Amino acid sequence: MDKIVCACGNVNPAGTALCESCGRPLNEETKEKKIVDMRYEGSARRSQTYNKTIIDKVWNFFSSVKVGMWIIVSILVAAAIGTILPQVFYVPATNESDIAAYYERIYGWFGTLYYELGLSDLYSSWWFQGLVGMLGISLVIASLDRVIPLYKSLKKQKTKRHISFLKRQRVYGIGKAEVTEDSLLKAEEKLKSLKYNVKREGNAILAERGRFSRWGPYVNHLGLIIFLFGVMLRALPGFYVDETMWLREGETLYVPGTNGYFLESKGFIYETYSKEESNEVFGDAIDRVGTIAKNYQTDVALYKGPENSVAGHAEDLTFEKNASIQVNKPIKFDNFSVFQMDFRLDELAKMKFQLQDKQTQQSFGEFTIDLANPQPLYELNEGYKVEVLDYYADFTGFEEGVPQSQSPLPNNPAFLIKMYSPEFPKGETSFVMIKETVEPLGENKHKIAFQSVETRDVSGLTVRKDLTLPLLALGGLIFMIGVAQGSYWNHRRIWIQLLEDGQTVVAAHTNKNWLSVKRDLDEVSKIAHLPEYLDQDDLDSLDEKVDKEEGV
Amino acid sequence: MDMASLSSNLLFIAFVAYLVATFLFGGAVKSSNAQSTKSFDRWGKLAITVTIIGFIANLGYFITRWVAAGHAPVSNLFEFTTAFGMMIVGAFILIYYIYKAPALGLFALPIAVLIIAYASMFPKEISPLIPALKSYWLTIHVITAAMGEAILAISAVAGLIYLLKNIDLTKKTKERFWIEAVMYVLFIVVGFVVSTVSFSVANYSAEYTYISKDETQHTIEYTMPALFGMNESVAITDNAFEPLVEMPPLVNAKKLTSVVWSILFGTVIYLLLRLILRKRISSILQPLTKKSNSQLMDEIGYRAVLIGFPVFTLGALIFAMIWAHEAWSRFWGWDPKEVWALITWLFYAVFLHLRLTKGWHGKKSAWLAVIGFIIIMFNLIAVNLIIAGLHSYA
């Protein structure tokens, strides 16, 4: 396409609407407008100029604000739909069929529909992520399409603008005011004291301030692009770790996702507010609510194993540090953080039993089963021993005579045990449950008598590493700078020109906050006796003015 | 007088001052035209002075409660909503000093009054912090987010004035219907306050047992006659109101009951007013907006979004993410409250783009501002009460 040569001699790129230099409208459409569109200074944007190749078409699609807005609105609506029912990660089930059953059981047919449509895991669906990706592309293209021509145009603008440009400004006035060289100087001075950059060219003044606010939108878009890029990086291996672990008191466990760190739980603390110890003003709240949690805390010791040490091999550990993990206070080491997320109180840890004679209740020795690690054989008094044939940590009953355990957690331990004694060297078989014993192979002489139990608390911890955080923080920071730059400052321009026919023209433009630029102009007018101006967009004031002139 | 009761007295003073100032702004609006600038000055000055006195008392409430509790009073629904109401007044004072528009006070203050009244219907006692809230980020995140939302709310107030002034209420149009619908919704909030206060003055209370969705039995206390019963509910209290309809375990019938009572009370009050005044509520309010400059209202609506949007971003998204990373181990978890903060943010981003590049000024922009406020209120009320998530502290 051809370049456009303006009457003033400036050569403008194809597609320019307002001459970069003098501001003359360059096409019919612009000439017909009463107020000129100043958004991008009438500069030639690629998307408005070329539409031939496939690249042009893609570029034009993503550079459109309309398309961008539809993408945002789609994301907005989808995000809202995702909050109607809880998402899968808030549902207490892990495998697909349990999740499906959960939605059906709790929410009925609607839950099933929600689950079947994939709305229960909406935010990780391909189409939702696709929308976010499209938004990212739109941010890049729409910004580039605008910022480059805008920059060129603002750089090239001349102090003296053509009258056809000035009269199409929203704030515009012309008249035979008594404006002399002296009053132009006064105007210059006043504008300078109002913190404008003032340029003078013959009888023309251009006063400009806050141009940098025009870059605000592009700076904040850059911040968003960096942020979205950071989020994408998470998918790369090594950048992101998200693991959970259940750590029992006294236990030392490998920290999943780390290379060779181990945590030992020295104890879990659960505290609630008591009326006696708390601030008096909390009394009513404690009375009404009952129990208010005060603290969840796991006291831990952190160890480092040798390089490449694996889970289950807690050997050759070197002590690193002690710490108390509380909610809001994770332990941090080597880019990892471990958070207090969950807990279970009083899980069974050890059970103490006696081998007794059923009739006389005479004891032949005691033994303690560590439920996390039951021994196969417990030697008791001379000639007496107990063999643990099988262990069911979370016993739920018999299915076709076979004992069932629904989980490895010792919620309801049961044991298949053989009791050896001098009378029965081949052993008697007993199935020992809490508060109950079954003798599957006939009447026994001896029994296992439950003595006592030891419990311990379990801490639910989350292990996290996120190397993308600095990038996200940078993106956020740049966004905030850009959004503040664009919102709290504005780009104001005031043009004053003495025309050859003796008339004076004033015009003003701002990208926002018209009241302020008008106030500035009023102050200058007072000193320099400029002609009165009109806000050609302020219909109420225009009406008033007409009313006055008609003498109403 | 101890700190806690001093605090609630200050809140009451602020509440009354805002009510009085509303009427004073009414006087300022009526007399504000070229002929009677002096009388406008008098009314206007008086009105803003009373507003500021109220605001100082309100700040006093906030500070004394902070001192009494030992933490920023933004830790439950009552405290947060009250702070939000206070900040709306603060944002109004800020904007008033930029633009000097009395009509803004006439509409912003009753909304703040309504929000504080709404807040007072929730448990008001000072509560100690649960572990999740024990962080200085509570103060930083919540106060900044509320400030952002309050400034954005002023945009809706300006939008409302713009719409009341510019919608032709003599013709049957969609706009006329929807602006009246907005008025009706405000009456439902009034209905909530009036019904709650009425039943609490009448000292109504009834206990029921019910079976929850995990099939265990619980008891629940209703403070309003139970229109809806919980799943398999059985009255414990003698002569308790027999629920009209029993709900499945998924639905919290107690909350549903209070919503329906609010609608009933609100509707009755609304209809009574319409019958007595024989006019639409919007028609009654319209004359109060006649002297406002549309251009100015449009600009205030836009400016408020410009000022509020960065504050909201900082408080409700950035500080929120930093805290979420410290407390919940991830900066973003698609918790409903987070999602609705994102929705609010996206919505105002759309508002700004449509205004800047698609030329959505005037009525379109005003409607968007009103919708934005509805989204903010939805996040405050519905997400806390209906959609359960990590943020439902009340």
Q: What pLDDT digit, counting tens, does each position of A167-195 carry?
A: 889 999 888 767 777 888 888 899 999 99
Q: Residue A212 and residue A491: Cα distance in Å, rounded?
A: 7
Q: Residue A154: pLDDT above 90?
A: no
Burial class (CB in 10 A: 0-12, 13-18, 19+), A78: middle
Q: Residue A72: pLDDT above 50?
A: yes
Specify if B270 maps to a domain.
no
Q: Which of A273, A462, A537 lies at the smallest CB-CB distance from B128?
A: A273
Helix segments in B70-101, DSSP class H? 77-99
The radius of gyration of chain B's CA atoms, rounded to the nearest angstrom, is: 22
Mean pLDDT of the A339-343 span: 92
Best B293, B346, B364, B392 member to test A by mutation, with max A CBs in 10 Å, is B346
Q: Collect all residues of chain A within an 8 Å Cβ-Cβ radius of residue B68.
A: 281
Classify the C-alpha dihedral A156-A157-A160-A163 as positive or negative: positive
Using the structure block, give the residue that is written with the tokens 């209202």.
Answer: B297
Residue predicted with more confidence, B36 or A370: A370
Q: Inter-chain contact A540–B295, Cβ cutoff 8 Å?
A: yes
Q: Residue B202: pLDDT above 60?
A: yes
**pLDDT band at residue A552 using 50, 70 and 90 as cut-offs:** very low
Best B339, B340, B386, B392 member to test A by mutation, with max A CBs in 10 Å, is B339
Residue B357 contacts A where some CB pair is shorter than 8 Å: yes
Specify if B235 maps to a domain.
no
Give percent of chain B above pLDDT 90.
53
Q: Inter-chain contact B314–A337, Cβ cutoff 8 Å?
A: no
Q: Collect all residues of chain A within an 8 Å Cβ-Cβ radius of residue B321.
A: 472, 476
CA nearest to B131, candidates A277, A271, A274, A332:
A271
Q: Residue A544: pLDDT above 70?
A: no
Specify if B218 maps to a domain.
no
| Gap from B335 CA to chain A (nearest CA, Å) | 8
- Can you read off the two tokens belonging to residue A221? 């878009």
Q: Residue A546: pLDDT above 90?
A: no
Helix, strand or coil, per DSSP, at residue B312? helix
Q: Which of B327, B333, B347 lies at the smallest CB-CB distance from A76?
A: B347
Phi-psi region of A137 (alpha: psi -120 to 50; beta: other; left: phi over 0): alpha
B166-170 contacts, C-beta under 8 A, 24 or more apart = B166/B294, B166/B362, B166/B363, B166/B366, B167/B282, B167/B363, B169/B280, B169/B282, B169/B283, B169/B286
Q: Residue B238: pLDDT above 70?
A: yes
Best A328, A337, A517, A519 member to test B by mutation, with max B CBs in 10 Å, is A328
Q: Residue B99 and residue B93: Cα distance in Å, rounded?
A: 10
| Gap from B20 CA to chain A (nearest CA, Å) | 30
Any idea what DSSP says for residue A122?
G
Residue B386 contacts A where some CB pair is shorter than 8 Å: no
Do B93 and B164 lie in a common domain? Answer: no
Task: Please give the pLDDT value at position B394.
Answer: 42
Per-residue model confidence as pLDDT tens digits over A415-469: 999 999 888 888 888 898 887 888 888 788 888 888 888 999 999 999 999 999 9
Q: Would you tell me the crossing angle of helices B253-277 and B281-289 to the nearest 10 degrees?
A: 70
Do B146 and B92 lie in a common domain? Answer: no
Do B116 and B43 lie in a common domain? Answer: yes
Q: Residue A216 and residue B306: Cα distance in Å, rounded?
A: 12
Specify if B281 maps to a domain.
no
CA nearest to B104, candidates B182, B177, B166, B22:
B22
The beta strand positions in A176-234, using DSSP E, are 197-201, 204-209
Task: Please give the pLDDT value at position A309.
Answer: 64
Give whole-number Cα distances, A91 to A87, A408, A436, in Å.
7, 21, 35
Q: Residue B54: pLDDT above 90?
A: yes
A378: Cα separation from own chain's centroid: 55
CB–CB of B243/B253 below 8 Å? yes
Q: Residue B91 and residue B94: Cα distance in Å, rounded?
A: 5
Q: Residue A183 and residue A527: Cα distance in Å, rounded?
A: 7
Do B109 and B5 lie in a common domain? Answer: yes
CA nearest to A519, candidates B390, B94, B180, B98:
B98
H or E stretch including B259?
A: helix B253-277
Do B29 and B88 lie in a common domain? Answer: yes
Q: Collect all residues of chain B within an 8 Å Cβ-Cβ radius of residue A519.
A: none
Q: Residue B37: pLDDT above 60?
A: no
Beta bridge partners of A480: none
**pLDDT band at residue A32 using 50, 70 and 90 as cut-offs:** confident
Q: How many CB atoms lie within 10 A of CB A140?
A: 16
Q: Residue B390 and residue B380: Cα distance in Å, rounded?
A: 14
Q: Residue A347 and residue A340: Cα distance in Å, rounded?
A: 18
**pLDDT band at residue B342 using 50, 70 and 90 as cut-offs:** very high
Do B44 and B82 lie in a common domain? Answer: yes
Q: Residue A129: pLDDT above 80?
A: yes
- Can you read off the two tokens belonging to residue A532? 């009165």
Q: Residue B35: pLDDT above 80?
A: no
**Could you tell me the end-to-end alpha-carbon distance of chain B, in angstroms, rounded to an integer?**
28
Mean pLDDT of the B2-27 span: 92
Residue B127 contacts A where some CB pair is shorter than 8 Å: yes
Q: Residue B394 and residue B392: Cα distance in Å, rounded?
A: 6
Of all residues in chain A, the one with the smallest CA distance to B361 is A537
Q: Inter-chain contact B303–A512, Cβ cutoff 8 Å?
A: yes
Q: Residue B325: pLDDT above 60?
A: yes
Q: Residue A68 and residue B353: Cα distance in Å, rounded?
A: 9
Give percent of chain A above pLDDT 70.
96
Tell me how many degrees the CA angle B220-B223-B226 measures, rounded to the nearest 5. 75
Residue B4 contacts A where some CB pair is shorter than 8 Å: yes
**pLDDT band at residue B38 using 50, 70 and 90 as cut-offs:** low
Q: Collect all residues of chain B within an 8 Å Cβ-Cβ radius of residue A462.
A: 329
Residue B19 contacts A where some CB pair is shorter than 8 Å: no
Specify if B278 maps to a domain.
no
The beta strand positions in A111-255, using DSSP E, are 171-175, 197-201, 204-209, 240-248, 252-254
Residue B392 contacts A where some CB pair is shorter than 8 Å: no
Per-residue model confidence as pLDDT tens digits over A215-233: 999 999 999 999 999 998 8
Q: Residue B51 and residue B106: Cα distance in Å, rounded?
A: 11
Domain, as residue range, for B370: 142-169+286-394
Task: For chain A, give the mean pLDDT.
Answer: 87
Specify if B358 maps to a domain.
yes
CB–CB of A457/A347 below 8 Å? yes
A356: Cα separation from own chain's centroid: 62
Mean pLDDT of the A80-97 span: 86
Number of domains in chain B: 2
Q: Residue B64: pLDDT above 70?
A: yes
- Can you read off the two tokens belonging to residue B258? 């209070």
Do B117 and B158 lie in a common domain? Answer: no
Best A281, A331, A467 member to test B by mutation, with max B CBs in 10 Å, is A281
CB–CB of A378/A385 below 8 Å? yes
Q: Inter-chain contact B131–A294, Cβ cutoff 8 Å?
A: yes
Q: Which of A89, A123, A281 lies at the smallest CB-CB distance from B4?
A: A281
CB–CB of B243/B226 below 8 Å? yes
Helix, strand or coil, per DSSP, at residue A104? helix
Helix, strand or coil, per DSSP, at residue A536? coil
Q: Residue B364: pLDDT above 70?
A: yes
Per-residue model confidence as pLDDT tens digits over B172-182: 899 999 999 99
Chain B 82-101, residues with CB within 8 Å of chain A CB atoms:
99
Any idea what DSSP says for residue A90?
G
The residue type at B216? T
Q: Which of A281, A337, A462 lies at the smallest CB-CB distance from B126?
A: A281
Question: Across chain A, how many H-helices and E-strands are there?
Answer: 13, 24
Task: Please give the pLDDT value at position A313.
Answer: 67
Task: Please give the pLDDT value at position A536.
Answer: 82
CB pairs under 8 A between A and B: 156
Task: Please give the pLDDT value at position A41.
Answer: 83
Mean pLDDT of the B91-100 span: 91
Q: Which of A83, A293, A476 lies at the smallest CB-CB distance from B318?
A: A476
Do B161 and B310 lie in a common domain? Answer: yes
CA nearest to B74, candidates B132, B7, B141:
B141
Do B120 and B14 lie in a common domain? Answer: yes
Q: Collect all residues of chain B within an 8 Å Cβ-Cβ radius of residue A68.
A: 353
Task: Please give the pLDDT value at position A543.
Answer: 65
Using the structure block, give the residue that is written with the tokens 């919980």.
Answer: B230
Q: Which residues of B17-46 are buried (b: 16+ CB within 10 A; e: fewer)?
A: bbebbbebbbbbbbbbeeeeeeebeebbeb
Q: Residue B55 and residue B64: Cα distance in Å, rounded?
A: 14
Q: Collect all residues of chain A within an 8 Å Cβ-Cβ radius of residue B127.
A: 282, 285, 289, 292
Do B1 and B148 lie in a common domain? Answer: no
Of all residues in chain B, the one with the smallest CA distance to A330 is B326
CB–CB of A430/A441 below 8 Å? no
Q: Residue A406: pLDDT above 90?
A: no
Q: Residue A548: pLDDT above 60?
A: no
Q: Residue B37 and residue B47: Cα distance in Å, rounded?
A: 15
CB–CB of A330/A337 below 8 Å? yes
Q: Residue A66: pLDDT above 50?
A: yes
Classify the C-alpha dihedral B229-B232-B237-B242 as positive or negative: positive
Q: Inter-chain contact B128–A476, Cβ cutoff 8 Å?
A: no
Q: Inter-chain contact A476–B336, Cβ cutoff 8 Å?
A: no
Mean pLDDT of the B201-226 span: 84
Mean pLDDT of the A297-318 span: 80
CA nearest to A6, candidates A40, A15, A21:
A21
Beta bridge partners of A271: A295
Q: Collect all residues of chain B within an 8 Å Cβ-Cβ radius of residue A242.
A: 329-330
**pLDDT band at residue B66 using 50, 70 and 90 as cut-offs:** very high
Do B307 and B162 lie in a common domain? Answer: yes
Do B150 and B34 lie in a common domain? Answer: no
Specify if B37 maps to a domain.
yes
Specify if B250 maps to a domain.
no
Task: Please give the pLDDT value at position B31.
Answer: 65
Task: Please give the pLDDT value at position B27.
Answer: 84
Task: Please give the pLDDT value at position A153.
Answer: 85
Q: Inter-chain contact A480–B306, Cβ cutoff 8 Å?
A: no
Of all residues in chain B, the one with the smallest CA distance to A124 is B334
Q: Residue A551: pLDDT above 50?
A: no
